[in-house]
Structure 1
Amino acid sequence: MASTTGGNGAGVRPWLVLLGVAVSLVAPILAFGPPQTDSAWYNHLWTLEIAEELARGDPYPRWLSGSFEGLGSPTFYFYPPLAFLVSGGLDFVGLSTNAAIGVTALVFLAASGAGMFTWLRFRRAPHPLLGAGLYMAAPYHLFDLYQRGALAEFAALAWLPLIALGIEALPRRWAVPLLATATAGLLLTHLPMALLAGVFLIAPASVAAVWRNRGALLPGLFAGALGVGAAAFYLLPALTLQGHISEHLLWEPHFRPQVWFFWKPFPAELAFLPVLAVVLAICAVRRTAFWGLIAAGSAAAAVGVIPSIWDIPLLAKAQFPWRLLGVAEFAAITALAEASSRRRRAGAVALALFTALLAVLNFAPRFLVPPDTPALHASRFDAPEYLPRDFRPQGLDRTARKLDLSAYRDLPAGPAITVEQPARVVLRQTAFPIWRVTRDGQAVANRGPLITFDASPGVYRVERVMLWQEQVGALVSVLALMLLLVTTAWSFARRSAATDGGADARS
């Protein structure tokens, strides 16, 4: 099954090479800290907040109590948690926040290379190690890391090779647990990338797999269901609780894919994206058309050459169409790794030169202006879409990450409040269904957008309650994980039995 052409398929050497490539590509962040990027603020805030919540004893922080100057935010009820559980966990065990972000980027970049190497080796590509290195150093990978600072989206790219491998390996028994795990991993890492990969990668690859072998259909459906089930503990609350936050801010004009077509007013710093789309489409051209078509179609849609697809309601929620360039890179490098030697060399040189140009012109200058970490620690400005639906604070500026919360600083805060005379009490905490106000163990009616209730003299407490979405989601995930473990054990047992049987026959 695995190719060892050129020494790429055996021993520990390829894995050490890939680790070395990952360290080299992330070295500037490891040495100097994250640069000033679009999402550097949130990367730092969420890593820091998760570390603090872990220190308070919460093993899965969904609510970030320090956000918005202590008003709190239900951030990880909605944002996929995996990348920041890794960075926050590293911060919790002793790394600095900046170092935790850098090591997290290193882990997922190395995983991208390892997954791509395994995928190309399975496909018997002539030089899987070269393809894996190209995938790690591909322009969109580094754009996500060094220009956008999109840590979770960057991490999500590690799952694409494993998903493709799981689909192509069907109906082999080991493909089911692999595909289920990779599907859950992608959902728990970045939902917009999961949406786009589902439409432009997973769906066509699955159709092709079933076309080749009808026996792939049921195992593929089973693997997909297991993957979604394993992620249900996150997905169910995320999809059912949006009515309690300012989710309309997610669909402002800035976040509509249609405003980012390259023929419209386009930021100069993003002008290379259409060029990258063309480079990827050219690199993908080869005699075997499937992966070339995936690459060309994804690249074209990413820059608006196929604009009508972004009017489809589900795809309209992808926010930025250029995210598809991550899928296009994966498909293009897959096609390139299997191309003739001449085309492979030319494509590798083109991608390397393009990446080098971006590094000089776009990425390196961002280290000259470090993120305003002191301001972050003072305000803890979280994403405003996680504020309560009816909360309209003064001075909201998404771009400058400013919010005037001074009017709320003197309000009382929980978890226990003593009321000495009848009054309407407003707490310094945003309202969300997980919070219940009690007096003498009895629930007291409260409302938002800050927790508000009518009180008579007494001691009131703000208590955390588990929502049905959390309970049902956790139950589904536990059942799916148990089934996944059984499936994995069965797969390895059958494989071991087959191996032993072959050895007996040979003896």
Structure 2
Amino acid sequence: MRSRFLPFIRRPACILTLFGVLLMLPALLWGPGFTHSHQYNLLWTAHFGQEMAAGQLYERWLRGSFEGLGSPTFYFYPPFAYWIGGAFHAAGFTVPTAVNLTGLALLVASGLAMHHWLATRGTRPLLGAMLYMAAPYHLYDIYVRGALAEATAFVWLPLIALAIDRLPARRGVMLLAAAYASLLISHLPLAMLTGLLVIAPLIGWRLWQRAPILPSAIAAGALAFALAAFFLIPALTLQSHVSTSILWVQDYRATDWSIWNSSFELFPCLALGLILLAWPAARTPWGVIAILTALLSVRLIPFVWGISLLNKVQFPWRVFCITEFAAITALAGSRLRPALLVGAGVLLLFPYLFGGLLTAAFLRKPVDQALIARVAPDAPEYLPRGFDLSRVRPGNRWVDLTPWRALPRGDAILVERAGPVTLGHAAFPIWQVTRDGRPVPSSGPLLHFQATPGLYRVERLRLWQETLGGGISLVALLLLAMLALRQRAISHLSKFPAYSP
């Protein structure tokens, strides 16, 4: 029995799963605890779980948010991480357990992806995968920031790199399209940064080596955006209907952060430590990417974050996801230098210690889950356009909704006297007030209309953005399936001696 069991537990997938459980053990025992995003993780996981249990895979409107005013959160926020958490919750796990299991699933998946990537290069795949899983910012994302969506990016980075290595082969095109589309529906800022700092340099490097990959790379990119169109088209065209201006207030712009910022304790040591890890491979693409992104993360390369689009990334240290991936890839493929490893270890000790102390404090800090479930404090950027943003509390970004608590909720209201009516229902283009099946003109930020006595209803419309985006994604998915079937057919035919692909 023992001899049969030992080969199984020695498999990389089993080792990395057990290692992931070990890394997540504090959260599994005492968490998920208080994090920068704990209320959103609890609220959004509960929402997806309830909807998925009812058979609705992707409900973008959160009807309970903001004390029942509702919110179009997932018209704008990428859903991938919460599909995972929602599936756990729909399967019967409590919301906190589902959040923990999401973190565990993402951590293990990132390790498996990294192992596969490094194994194709023949460069210490198991060690590199474990280092990737235990990298300081990777754990900081889960334990301190509670940034499940950002943590999802760690899964796709190795697969994107692997796909570019496989171009122009058909499987490279399919993998790059699927992996980058998955990143687009996981975390938009990192999708943009990955395109600029990983995909473009790697494709440029291969072109410099005279690899004929440009047409296949363009095809993969177009297919990736088409696969994600069901999310991207509504997210990019409907922002004028919500309070996106609050996304880039003080401390939510990349230019508000620098190496001298008092809130930057963790990051200079992390950046320098990762540079030392990557230094032996400084003349390779991975060493260059690691060093440049480490410098970018603490704004030691001037002017870059001042570019308007990049400034909207909010935090320059988001790029550490890329830095850790590139540095570990560079380290795994280079000759180890003990002096640099010791120096990196000393520097990285501080972020581990600082992150560990914050984690311990956050795990001990109580979270009023009942209050979160009742108040449903969604992200204020999803409040309807024109809402009084002075009601947003600067500390926890909860919204004081006291003046609107007495307004009638629900999708039907019986009006007994003529005059103006305001409903406790956020305005958004998917909602239309009707009477006797006929539209009634209304305005926002909460649904407001002139009424005469009678029964009024709030009915849902399907937007052209949803129809167009869904149609494009469906066509792209069918195309990807056709490519996969053709690839499989070629693979089967190639087994015959007389066939030459």
Residue 435 of structure 1 contacts residue 464 of structure 1 at CA under 8 Å; is this kept in 2? yes
Q: Does 1:271 align with 2:265?
A: yes
After TM superposition, the structure 1 = structure 2 runs for residues 1-400 of structure 1, keeping only pairs within 5 Å, are 13-55=11-53, 57-125=55-123, 127-263=124-260, 265-267=261-263, 270-287=264-281, 288-342=283-337, 353=349, 356-392=352-388, 395-400=391-396
Alpha-carbon distance in 1 for matches of 2:81, 2:422: 35
Alignment correspondent of 1:419: 415
Identity among equivalent positions (%) equals 46
Change in Cα spacing, 1:57 to 1:464, as seen in structure 2 (3 Å) is farther
SS of residue matched to 1:475: helix
Residue 276 of structure 2 contacts residue 344 of structure 2 at CA under 8 Å; is this kept in 1? no
Alpha-carbon distance in 1 for matches of 2:487, 2:273: 41
Tell me how far 1:421 sits from its aligned partner: 2.8
Consecutive unaligned residues of structure 2, counting only runs of 5 or more, are 1-7
- What is the identity, as a one-letter code, of the residue corresponding to 1:280? L
Alpha-carbon distance in 1 for matches of 2:343, 2:205: 26
Change in Cα spacing, 1:173 to 1:300, as seen in structure 2 (3 Å) is same
SS of residue matched to 2:474: helix
- What is the identity, as a one-letter code, of the residue corresponding to 1:484? L
Alignment correspondent of 1:7: none
| TM-superposition CA deviations, 1:262-302 (whole Å, max 9, x none) | 12x322xx412111000101100124521111000000001
Alpha-carbon distance in 1 for matches of 2:134, 2:370: 32
Residue 434 of structure 2 contacts residue 456 of structure 2 at CA under 8 Å; is this kept in 1? yes
TM-score between both structures, scaled by the size of structure 1:
0.92
Tell me how far 1:53 sits from its aligned partner: 3.3
| TM-superposition CA deviations, 1:310-358 (whole Å, max 9, x none) | 1112111110000111101000000000111445965885687456434
After TM superposition, the structure 1 = structure 2 runs for residues 421-440 of structure 1, keeping only pairs within 5 Å, are 421-440=417-436
Change in Cα spacing, 1:72 to 1:398, as seen in structure 2 (3 Å) is farther
Residue 53 of structure 1 contacts residue 64 of structure 1 at CA under 8 Å; is this kept in 2? no
SS of residue matched to 1:319: coil
- What is the identity, as a one-letter code, of the residue corresponding to 2:99? I
Change in Cα spacing, 1:425 to 1:54, as seen in structure 2 (3 Å) is farther
Residue 422 of structure 1 contacts residue 456 of structure 1 at CA under 8 Å; is this kept in 2? yes
Change in Cα spacing, 1:393 to 1:132, as seen in structure 2 (3 Å) is closer
Change in Cα spacing, 1:342 to 1:393, as seen in structure 2 (3 Å) is closer
Change in Cα spacing, 1:21 to 1:347, as seen in structure 2 (3 Å) is farther
Change in Cα spacing, 1:409 to 1:362, as seen in structure 2 (3 Å) is closer
SS of residue matched to 1:427: strand
| TM-superposition CA deviations, 1:23-57 (whole Å, max 9, x none) | 11111111112121111111111111222333455
Alpha-carbon distance in 1 for matches of 2:489, 2:369: 51
Alpha-carbon distance in 2 for matches of 1:39, 1:247: 18
Two-structure CA RMSD over aligned residues (Å): 2.2
Alpha-carbon distance in 1 for matches of 2:346, 2:100: 27
Change in Cα spacing, 1:151 to 1:140, as seen in structure 2 (3 Å) is same
Residue 286 of structure 2 contacts residue 326 of structure 2 at CA under 8 Å; is this kept in 1? yes
**Which one is further off, 305-314 or 341-350?**
341-350
- What is the identity, as a one-letter code, of the residue corresponding to 2:15? V
**Which one is further off, 197-206 or 134-143?**
197-206
How many aligned residue pairs are there? 492
Change in Cα spacing, 1:47 to 1:384, as seen in structure 2 (3 Å) is same
- What is the identity, as a one-letter code, of the residue corresponding to 2:482? V
Alignment correspondent of 1:3: none
Tell me how far 1:364 sits from its aligned partner: 2.2
Residue 394 of structure 1 contacts residue 405 of structure 1 at CA under 8 Å; is this kept in 2? no
Residue 384 of structure 1 contacts residue 398 of structure 1 at CA under 8 Å; is this kept in 2? no
Alpha-carbon distance in 2 for matches of 1:408, 1:305: 47
Tell me how far 1:414 sits from its aligned partner: 2.8
- What is the identity, as a one-letter code, of the residue corresponding to 1:35? G
SS of residue matched to 2:269: helix
After TM superposition, the structure 1 = structure 2 runs for residues 454-493 of structure 1, keeping only pairs within 5 Å, are 454-493=450-489
Alpha-carbon distance in 1 for matches of 2:343, 2:154: 20
Tell me how far 1:374 sits from its aligned partner: 2.9
Change in Cα spacing, 1:458 to 1:332, as seen in structure 2 (3 Å) is same
TM-score between both structures, scaled by the size of structure 2:
0.93
Alpha-carbon distance in 1 for matches of 2:388, 2:356: 42
- What is the identity, as a one-letter code, of the residue corresponding to 1:390? G
- What is the identity, as a one-letter code, of the residue corresponding to 1:290? P
Alpha-carbon distance in 2 for matches of 1:441, 1:430: 21
